[in-house]
Amino acid sequence: MKRLPFLLSLLTAGLLLTDPALAQKVKAKTKGAAADVPAAARRLLPLFGGLTPEAGQQLVGAAFLRSADQSFASRTEASQFFANKAYEYLKEGQADTARYRFNLAWVLDPKNPAPYRGLGLLTASAAPDEAIGLLSQALALAPTDAQLLTDVGGVYLIRFEQTKKNKDLKTADEYLRRALAADANNAYAWQQLGWVQFKQENYPGAWESLHKARTLDFSSIDFELISQLKDKLPDPQGMFK
């Protein structure tokens, strides 16, 4: 795979969206987004603030697109490259840099579910409704992806904590069970299901799910859940005392 110096500089420079002339040019259609958001500010908004893919391409500019076309075998490959870099930044706690890279990945291939998932995860705590919308777009492209289903269930659980609506808790349960139907070895899904069952006051079920997560991946264990569960019901297996 070729790597042009110009392309590599894009990973660290972030200069594309700071050109005032470019900012004046971005007037293409949006999907319910404010049309007067400065181009430089859009880089940190999911999907560049609700732009259409065509408007997103206009925003990043022809030079970036040419560089991607010259450096990768396809835009699909280029998109996955930027998405992978974004996840690396996300793991390092560099949220703004990750968000921009996910946006670039989306522009390069709007049919890649990875950017929608990454942007949804970045948005989940502060804006669960927006996160659900983004993750739903990812699911439309990969409807049986166990990790995506787990993520959606987790965000509905976050929303339940804010709304206290049983509907959100029920929906979280449904998505997590769909995730486990797709991959019964998904330790994180079992862990999240344990939280749902705890909120449903199904304490035996919560312990069972927690132990299934433990046997699959001990690092997935949420000790806060253990602490709260022990106050309601001693561990039936006697492991956590």
Residues 108-121 have pLDDT tens digits of 999 999 999 999 99
Asked if 1-143 and 144-241 have one fold, the answer is: yes
Task: Give every residue of the chain whose pLDDT is below 70, as ranges.
Answer: 1-36
The CATH number of the structural domain formed by 1-143 is: 1.25.40
Look at the domain 144-241 and name its fold.
1.25.40
Note the pLDDT of residue 42. 87
* Beta carbons within 8 Å of 24's beta carbon, 6+ residues apart: none
Helices of type H across 124-222: 128-141, 146-163, 166-182, 187-199, 203-216
Note the pLDDT of residue 37. 77
Residues 86-111 have pLDDT tens digits of 999 999 999 999 999 999 999 999 99
Note the pLDDT of residue 5. 34
Note the pLDDT of residue 7. 37
Note the pLDDT of residue 35. 57
Note the pLDDT of residue 32. 47
Coil, helix or strand for 51?
Answer: strand
- Could you tell me the residue ranges of all domains in the chain? 1-143, 144-241
Residue 186 has, within 13 A of its CA and on its CB side, a CA count of 23
pTM value?
A: 0.84
Note the pLDDT of residue 31. 52
